[in-house]
Amino acid sequence: MIKFYNSLSRQKEEFVPLDANHVRMYACGPTVYNYAHIGNARATVVFDQWARLLRHLYPKVTYVSNITDVEDKIMIAAKEAGVPILEITEKYTKIYNDDMASLGANLPDVQPKATEHIGEMITQIEALIARDHAYEAEGHVLFNVPSDPSYGVLSGRSRDEQVAGARVEVAPYKKDPADFVLWKPSTEDQPGWDSPWGFGRPGWHIECSAMAEKHLGLPFDIHGGGADLKFPHHENEVAQSCCANDKANEPESFSKYWIHNGFLTVEGEKMSKSLGNFLTVHDVIKNYDGEVIRLTLLSAHYRQPLDWSEQALHQNKILLDKLYKKLDELKDIYLAPLANDMAARVEKIPTAILQALCDDLNTPLVLMELNKLLKEKEGTELKEALIYTGDLLGILQKDPKDYFAVDHSSVDEDKINTLIEKRNQAKAAKDYAGADAVRDELLGMGIEIKDTRDGTTWQKV
């Protein structure tokens, strides 16, 4: 039995699927205009992990996660690069999927593109206008927030916070400052489609309402995304989908449960493109096996912040190395193929691990249990537990030989030398605590330093 924190009810609940034979989940996907950073990857890996768990426990799961391929940021990127928009979106969709695959994230069952669902969006907007929840003004169509008595139900935001949080420029054609755009006009050189309101393009929020309904039907079980999307994006999705179907007061008529992942941070601050404090998956993967990155992303509970550091990566690399080493030692043990059903696999997964995952995806506890397994089990029992747990977690999918054959630990010599220089300066200034902190930072990167007569030397530990 799965229990998790439902953002809609603001409490931990038992998961009761609408149809126990077919679980349906939607998670907001990326806007494709540049490389995904590790923070974006956290959302992808978390929802991939939920999908993996659900697939182990229910006979059928449909997991939908979209590609936002029409957005102003994409238009700007295309203009800067001097190439057509499609070139940008196709290139970065492929890079995104390749990067996420290297982190063990399976492709969702459906990965709908916004530009292929313009007709569905127009139909939904028409329904909203027909029910007086939206209005046309100067080529725009806006959702009228005061027309929805339940608006704020997901985020719990008050009316004042809604207006402030919507961060909308005061547009003269708006009836209410909280109203948001469903459709906006495009000029000839911008992407656009013919609509009852002229040549234009959809707002961002309506995409997910239209694509979730088309590919999952309403209501569906779980809607997910990063905590930053709860307001306004998810709040607006609820408003659009419920009001278009004349169910304004029934938020569960869209998605029964909502799951939000916490932020990945750098020195306590959210990793984001706008702050410039981001690391792309593309770069991190050069130095660490994708499974190490995945394990690190899962090392904190998904709702808690996860502070990204070399130390965290290194620690998880040590654990993964240990697991692969054990698998290598057990390589001569033959595992008979299992019947092709999940139940047989689930049986091989230690109960404590399954229970931890079913308890709001408690992955930190799972990592502790993995360590315990190495001490407590052996032989066939251990190998089975590792292989089938690995399958559930998206790790241990490689031949140990291949895992160890690639030297991902290529060191960043410039960084090491900069840190050694920093430590020398600290020592010269008699700042011994500072010098020790740098030594620890290097150790966290797997680098041990030695002071010799000829200066400071370093080696990999």
Q: Which of 264, 366, 364, 361 is nearest to 305 (CA)?
A: 264
Least spacing, CB of residue 208 vs Zn ion, in Å: 3
Q: Is 28 in the site for ligand AMP (CB under 6 A)?
A: yes
If the CB atoms of residues 100 and 244 are measured against ligand AMP, the closer one turns out to be: 100
Least spacing, CB of residue 83 vs ligand AMP, in Å: 20
Distance, CA of 118 to CA of 114 (rounded, Å): 7
Q: Is 40 in the site for ligand AMP (CB under 6 A)?
A: yes
Within 8 A by CB and 6+ apart from 355, the residues are none
Residue 345, phi then psi, degrees to nearest 5: -70, -45
Within 8 A by CB and 6+ apart from 241, the residues are 124, 209, 212, 213, 218, 253, 254
The interface partner of residue 208, options being Zn ion, ligand AMP, none and the CB cut-off 5 to 8 Å by kind, is Zn ion
Residue 85, phi then psi, degrees to nearest 5: -55, -40
| Binding track over 216-235 against ligand AMP, x by CB under 6 A | ---------xx-xx------
If the CB atoms of residues 23 and 229 are measured against ligand AMP, the closer one turns out to be: 229
The only residue of 26, 220, 263, 388 in contact with ligand AMP, by rule CB under 6 A: 263
The only residue of 272, 299, 362, 409 in contact with ligand AMP, by rule CB under 6 A: 272
Task: Select the residue whose beta carbon is closest to ligand AMP and give its number.
Answer: 226
Q: What is the CA radius of gyration of the chain?
A: 25
Q: Is 150 helix (H, G, I), strand (E, B) or coil?
A: coil
Q: Which two tokens stand for residue 118?
A: 């313009």
Q: Is 296 in the site for ligand AMP (CB under 6 A)?
A: no
Q: Is 129 in the site for Zn ion (CB under 5 A)?
A: no
Q: Per residue in 243-252, is it b (16+ CB within 10 Å) or e — as a string?
A: bbbebbeebb
Q: Is 31 in the site for ligand AMP (CB under 6 A)?
A: yes
Q: Which two tokens stand for residue 256?
A: 């029964």
Q: Is 425 helix (H, G, I), strand (E, B) or coil?
A: helix
Which residues from 401-460 bind ligand AMP, rule CB under 6 A? none
How many residues lie near Zn ion (CB under 5 A)? 2
Q: Is 264 in the site for ligand AMP (CB under 6 A)?
A: yes
Q: Is 28 in the site for Zn ion (CB under 5 A)?
A: yes
Q: Is 208 in the site for Zn ion (CB under 5 A)?
A: yes
How many residues lie near ligand AMP (CB under 6 A)? 17
If the CB atoms of residues 7 and 40 are measured against ligand AMP, the closer one turns out to be: 40
Least spacing, CB of residue 61 vs ligand AMP, in Å: 20
H runs (alpha helix) in 305-409: 310-329, 342-348, 351-358, 363-376, 379-393, 400-405
The interface partner of residue 43, options being ligand AMP, Zn ion, none and the CB cut-off 5 to 8 Å by kind, is ligand AMP
For residue 396, is it left (φ>0), alpha (ψ between -120 and 50) or beta?
left
The interface partner of residue 228, options being ligand AMP, Zn ion, none and the CB cut-off 5 to 8 Å by kind, is ligand AMP
Question: For residue 437, what are the CA distances in angstroms to 266, 434, 450?
Answer: 18, 5, 15
Q: Is 6 in the site for ligand AMP (CB under 6 A)?
A: no
The span of 20-28, 332-340, 353-361, 364-372 binding Zn ion (CB under 5 A) equals: 20-28
Q: Which amino acid is at 323?
A: L
Q: Which residues bind ligand AMP (CB under 6 A)?
A: 28, 30-31, 39-40, 42-43, 225-226, 228-229, 261, 263-264, 270-272
Residues binding Zn ion (CB under 5 A): 28, 208
